[in-house]
Chain A
Amino acid sequence: MTSDLDIFVGNTTLIDEEVYQLWLDGHSVAEAVARRLRGGVLERAGTSVAVLQSDTRDHYRTFQMLERLLHAPPRLLQQLLFQIPPSRQAMLVQRYYAFEESFARELLGKKLSKGTKKDLDEISARTGVSIKSCRRQFDNFKRVFKAVEELRGPLADNIQQLFLLPPPLARDYAAVVFFANSRFETGKRRLQFLTFGDFAACAQHMMLHWTQGALAPEAAEPDGDVPKSFLQDLKELKVLVADKDLLDLHKSLVCTALRGKISVYNEMEANFKPLSRALVNVGGKLTHARDVRDFFVDLVEKVIEPCRSDKWSPADLRLFLGHYTAAPRALPAFRHQALWERYMAVITACLLRMYHD
């Protein structure tokens, strides 16, 4: 006697968080049953494998029906088909949009296109995240990207509103969208030590200080782009390294302030000019799309690696950057004070975040 049809429908939709996670992780029904067996649910509830199979199938069917609604979370709140308490709805959305950082790290800066989707099995193999789960996460990124692409106002807020995500998750999505939009290079070997968290933090700083939304929420341009005018203006900062007098003055101001305060004073003094050049030029290059890609590569290659080889401590770097940013205030010939500080706020934050092993 085999069961052809076997369903259970509750007036309040039953959701088993454990099975939901198995489903999200891309396990088939059979795999999920095997895992639940190993989890010992059978011993606790004293039932048979057949019951477990039927239960798992029921849940999987429910999730498949819910998936359509999860693509637009506000609809999940308005729909009449499934009666789900608000806390459970929030859980469903949050888990559905949660992603593996290792997977997201791989995808950062890549175009969210069909081509990339085809390469997902490679990423899946590398990260150990199942291909089904990879696809769901990729589709989530793409869906969020498409939804907010044309919207104005702060990216994270838009995402939070359209997808009802908790604020930290919405900020991570904003970072993903920002990277996908700006196409920063993150795959280079020398960048491998950086985690998704590092990049996300950097992206958040850039959005906070550099983008249009940061300045005027109702601005015309979408939040995902750094305004062209700002990037254009950054060229003006080159004067700090191009003008010999300014450079020397800047160096002496920083050195005076730091003397005796950092352990790597000598190395700093010796390297000040290349460091300063690197720090300023990173910004100067941002007008060209190709150079934008190299933003993180440049920071690592020209700032972080030299410092690391000179054994700067993070505290040293923090102190240095603080004084380095503040010093131009005392330079009477330097007129771009506001621009400089807006620029350096992000660079400082990024460098400090990225300065680890």
Chain B
Amino acid sequence: MPGKLKVKIVAGRHLPVMDRASDLTDAFVEVKFGNTTFKTDVYPKSLNPQWNSEWFKFEVDDEELQDEPLQITVLDHDTYSANDAIGKVYIDIDPLLYSEAATVISGWFPIYDTIHGIRGEINVVVKVDLFNDLNRFRQSSCGVKFFCTTSIPKCYRAVIIHGFVEELVVNEDPEYQWIDRIRTPRASNEARQRLISLMSGELQRKIGLKVLEMRGNAVVGYLQCFDLEGESGLVVRAIGTACTLDKLSNTSAFLPACNSPSKEMKEIPFNEDPNPNTHSSGPSTPLKNQTYSFSPSKSYSRQSSSSDTDLSLTPKTAPSPQGPRIFLFPSSPTLSCDSPHLKKSCLLLSGSSLNPLHSSHVSPVVLRKSVSFTEELLLAASGMGSGSAGKEGGPFKTLLRQQTQSALEQREFPFFTLTTFPPGFLVHVGGVVSARSVKLLDRIHNPDEPETRDAWWAEIRQEIKSHAKALGCHAVVGYSESTSICEEVCILSASGTAAVLNPRFLQDGTMEGCLEQRLSWQPGFFSIGSEKGEVDFFPQSQDSSSLLGIEEASPPGCGFCHIPYDELNMPFPAHLTYCYNCRKQKVPDVLFTTIDLPVEAIVIGKGCLIQARLCRLKKKAQAEANATSISNLLPFMEYEVHTQLMNKLKLRGMNALFGLRIQITVGENMLMGLASATGVYLAALPTPGGIQIAGKTPNDGTYEQHISHMQKKINDTIAKNKELYEINPPELPEEIIGSPIPEPRQRSRLLRSQSESSDEVTELDLSHGKKDAFVLEIDDTDAMEDVHSLLTDVPPPSGFYSCNTEIMPGINNWTPEIQMFTAVRVSRLSNINLTNQTLNKNFNDLCENLLKSLYFKLRSMVPCCLCHVNFTVALPEDELVQIAVTAVAITFDKNQALQANKAPTEKSQQRASTDNEDQLQFPLELCSDPLASQPFPPAKEVLEGASSHTGIPAAQRAASLDKASPLAEGYLRHRSVPSCTNSTVSVVKMTPLSFLPGAKITKYLGIINMFFIRETTSLREEGGVSGFLHAFIAEVFAMVRAHVAALGGNAVVSYIMKQCVFMENPNKNQAQCLINVSGDAVIFVRESELEMLPVQPSTVVSQPTSSGGDVTT
């Protein structure tokens, strides 16, 4: 019995009129948790009832606390007939279960009804008293923090990044149970909402258990999805990255941001570095996962299609050391080669103190700095290991490779859902790896043993892993999974970026390694620090390393671009040149990745959103035939999507894609592919060549003319785009670059595979055979269309930029104004006798028009950038295409932007150092102080107790816990005065990004994961489909905001709308929609306020004209 949940129902307002006769309502509230229900008294004849109930107390297991949502139902009392439900509020109490998040949930919640929408509001206070349970075999995982953010959350540092965690739970969908025929739509919707809430609680608990098993304390990049499989059930699955996080000490949050991380570093005495996790690093993992064996599947019941791996791999690739073999090499050789560096680093101690910026500091600082040198050296060593420059480095290289591999090989899946990493974490990037598999759904017979679904995913993940291996990479970053379901066919997709990681960040099996890890990783701070001195570091360390006879380090600005695979045994034909930045190592000519642009990357000009859009008709078919035809179409779609992306990238004069997300959606009679990515020009990669058009019938004069006309148009577009995105790379003399490696063929970075219905392993080469790089051959009208469609992409109007990554390369002076939005469009395809071409055109127009309308809507924000533009395509019915877009528009200061652009090379460093958000995110340290995470536990208790009586808005209460300095408290006192006197709703910002421009996140309050169903039987009366969905999405936003505000937060970061399933039946005047959203609730403080903190009370809220009609608390 380790927990006591306490709930108090304070008041209601704006309730609907339930009694027509009196125009009033006799409302009371039922509070339900698990199987226990409490009721308040009936508050008669009021639309603004004041219940002021006692504390309802639930004594429950923490397992139950994690799984169950608190369910609050508002009803209208009726003496003679059944009480009418007004609506419900589900509150996820998970944020109250870990100490660093919220302590109380208190505020106004919209009362939600699945038929009527929001009907008034209710004021609720929820608290949890948790007793520690030290039972080793417990089933709960209270205390594990969850973050949707796909980077190390600001105000935390990662001690260890453990790796991939996944889990799925299945159940029958209540909508498809027999009972659904006799119950009301409302009851059915509520059963579904409740079930999904329960399932996600359970899932989160199970994932938490896995994290605890790995000795982690948090999950970052947590992504939970629902598969509505219809008849065959409901699957809730989640993936994430287990980490051990350490909260940065609270004071740092209030230091001026520019130097907080490094300062704080210095404050920690060197001796107090013991890594609490060194002891935990050994256990279980190594042996457990080695046993993994991959069977080429197709053994599952009722499953017509099976998956074949390595479709795109050239079999000639030298088999990289596989599985168990690698464990024959113990890690000791690596250690022996590392330790000399350590010694050498000591030699450098004196050298480091020469640096004027640091010499004035006390000795620990100097010591620390010397360590940063070591780090550079180690980086150099590992960089060389996988680099291709020195042939004599061969054996050494393999040794290092094996070392890093061994660290990861021990994991079943060396996957990371993160998209942004601490500097140095990412050593090399291989390219995008993806795998898809077509499955036929069958009923899940035993929900407790969801083996089939587990096996499906395991199979796909195994494929991803082997693709990564083929690219010479041992890990996959920016990993994500998705499904597309139509009737009984399901496409499972997974994709990520193959990468070589620095093993020192990961929990390593060897105890000896830990000390060395710790030493080597602190310098991570310095390489990104804001002080100018650090920039000087690189040449110095490079010099010293060459003095020491070690291969030169790969500079961080380009290191990740260097190829991880062996140039003599390339997994696919590729075109390599020496890196344009360091000129030392080989780089490919284009790079596709699913991750965010690394902060240290040197980019020329600005980036832009690039989309490839594609439709393919397919015959309507049943079951296996359907699955087969889909499987047959997939390779062609992937190929075309890839070609389109490549062409569009060239057309913009760019050479790399980040944040690539390819979505393939299956419908009854077509497949749709939508790929979104952010194109950039990486300084390290070669300048892309143009696009050549070649005609098939060269004798025809007019045809020739037409071709040359087109060619001119394309060339013009490229020139225009270069100007638009400010791409003007410095001219390099040819001899420096060196001649490219022969065999100039088009290369593709996209490794992919399809499930085929046949067992035969087909090989698909994504390159264009022997053709020259970017020759588009126009041999028929189709090809003509393709070229035309290339040119139809209109650049955004002036003042607008767009990207689908976190940050827009080339813009670094964001202003605080943000506008998050969701836009949804459903279009009907005009007739059924469509060809692929017209379909493509329609789809293309749909996307382009949607973008255009976004630009128009947001025109008042110019100059601004649409960040994290996320398109989702669904095919809800035969002829309907649904596109949902969520993004955030952020304004920026144009004048500064222009200045910054004049010095493009300086810029990236400047960005790295000025972007305070990112800085906080990166401090990655293996040493930690476990006490630092909770500096003021007693104060917390006091405040919590006090706040419930005083009625100080929860935001301030929670915020006050974070304030450590007396200054901050004074500031708070000032602040709470005005907000107590007025009852205006507090502003909650929402953003799909992990940060807020111009603000500092001071606290994470917990994960928001909400699922809503809305149904109507009076569609016309509610304004048709648009009116219905518009209201529903607004309601979802409102409920998210209310929950965040009740937790004491003022923003949601990493917000994502994971699902928006809309169904309509206009003939019956009905529609239904399901929406699933998630994000991280946070408290942020404006940087400008931080600076003024001691002087000025805040200017937040306060609206003098407000009437102050209602009583709060």
Contact = CB atoms under 8 A, between A and B. Distances in A.
A12 B890 CA distance: 13
Interface size class of A (residues with CB under 8 A): 35 or more
A65 B853 contact: no
B171 to A, nearest CB: 30
A45 B821 contact: no
Contacts of A51: 849, 852-853, 856
B822 A9 contact: yes
Given A5-B1025, A6-B1026, A80-B1041, A74 B1109 contact: yes
A11 interface: yes
A191 to B, nearest CB: 36
B827 A65 contact: no
A8 B1103 contact: no
Contacts of B857: 8, 14, 55, 58
A65 B1029 CA distance: 12
A5 B140 CA distance: 44
Interface stretch (A20-28, A81-89, A263-271): A81-89
Contacts of B797: 45-47
A80 B121 contact: yes
A5 B823 contact: no
A262 interface: no
Interface in A1-17: 1-14
B1062 to A, nearest CB: 7
B538 interface: no
A330 interface: no
Contacts of B985: 77-80, 83
A161 B1108 CA distance: 10
Nearest to B118: A81
Contacts of B990: 11
Interface string A46-73: 1110111011011001101100000000
Contact of B1107 (A5, A12, A162): A162
A4 B456 CA distance: 36
Given A61-B1030, A65-B1031, A80-B110, A10 B821 contact: yes
B1103 A47 contact: no
Interface in A285-340: none
Interface residues on B, range: 35 or more
Interface in B1007-1035: 1023, 1025-1027, 1029-1031, 1033-1035
A6 to B, nearest CB: 5
The residue among B108, B842, B849 with the most chain A CB atoms within 10 A of its own CB is: B849
A190 to B, nearest CB: 41
Nearest to A47: B856
A5 B1103 contact: no
Contact of A12 (B14, B118, B819, B1029): B819
B1041 A4 contact: no
Contacts of B1107: 74, 77, 161-162, 164
Interface in B835-854: 842, 845-846, 849, 852-854
A90 interface: yes
A4 B1025 contact: yes
Contact of A8 (B118, B852, B853): B853
B535 interface: no
A7 B1038 contact: no
Nearest to B1031: A65
Nearest to A53: B853
Contacts of A3: 825-827
B1103 A7 contact: no
B827 A78 contact: no
B731 interface: no
B855 A80 contact: no
Contacts of B856: 45, 47, 51-52, 55
Nearest to A52: B856
Given A1-B842, A11-B990, A77-B985, A57 B1042 contact: no
A90 B984 CA distance: 13
B49 to A, nearest CB: 15
B1106 interface: yes
A356 interface: no
A50 B849 CA distance: 9
A82 to B, nearest CB: 7
B1054 to A, nearest CB: 14
A75 interface: yes
A9 B1105 contact: no
A54 B859 contact: no
Interface in B971-1018: 983-985, 987-990
B859 A45 contact: yes
A6 B856 CA distance: 14
Contact of A9 (B118, B823, B987, B1110): B823
Contact of A65 (B983, B1034, B1037): B1034
A292 B732 CA distance: 95
A62 B1033 CA distance: 12
Contacts of B1033: 7, 9
Nearest to A6: B825
A51 B794 CA distance: 15
Interface in B1057-1113: 1062, 1103, 1105-1107, 1109-1110
B824 interface: yes
B824 A7 contact: yes
Contact of A2 (B828, B1026, B1105): B828
Interface string B733-765: 000000000000000000000000000000000
B827 A81 contact: no
Residue with the highest number of chain B CB atoms closer than 10 Å, among A1, A58, A61, A79: A1
Contacts of A79: 14, 985
Interface string B808-834: 000000000001111111111110000
A11 B1035 CA distance: 11
A164 B1109 CA distance: 12
B880 interface: yes
A65 B825 contact: no
Contact of A82 (B822, B1023, B1034, B1105): B1034
Contacts of B436: none
B1011 to A, nearest CB: 18
A5 B121 contact: no
B401 interface: no
Nearest to B797: A46
Contact of A11 (B110, B821, B853, B1110): B821
Nearest to B988: A83
B145 interface: no
Contacts of B1031: 65
Contacts of B988: 83
Nearest to A9: B1033
Q: B990, B1025, B1037 — which one has the most chain A CB atoms within 10 A of its CB?
A: B1037
Given A14-B857, A51-B852, A8 B821 contact: yes
A66 B970 CA distance: 39
Contacts of B13: 78
Contact of B983 (A6, A78, A86): A78
Contacts of B1027: 61, 64
Contacts of B1038: 80-83
Interface string B857-896: 1010000000000000000000010100000000000000
A303 B13 CA distance: 55
Contact of B1034 (A1, A9, A77): A9
7 contacts: A1-B829, A7-B1026, A11-B821, A14-B857, A55-B857, A80-B121, A83-B1038
Instruction: Identify the 4 closest CB pairs spanning chains A and B, nearest first.
Output: A5-B826, A86-B1103, A10-B821, A11-B820
Interface of B: 13-14, 108, 110, 118, 121, 797, 819-830, 842, 845-846, 849, 852-857, 859, 880, 882, 983-985, 987-990, 1023, 1025-1027, 1029-1031, 1033-1035, 1037-1038, 1041-1042, 1062, 1103, 1105-1107, 1109-1110
Given A11-B1041, A80-B110, A81-B1034, 13 more contacts: A2-B827, A4-B1026, A5-B826, A7-B1030, A7-B1033, A11-B1037, A47-B856, A58-B1030, A80-B108, A81-B118, A83-B987, A86-B1103, A162-B1107
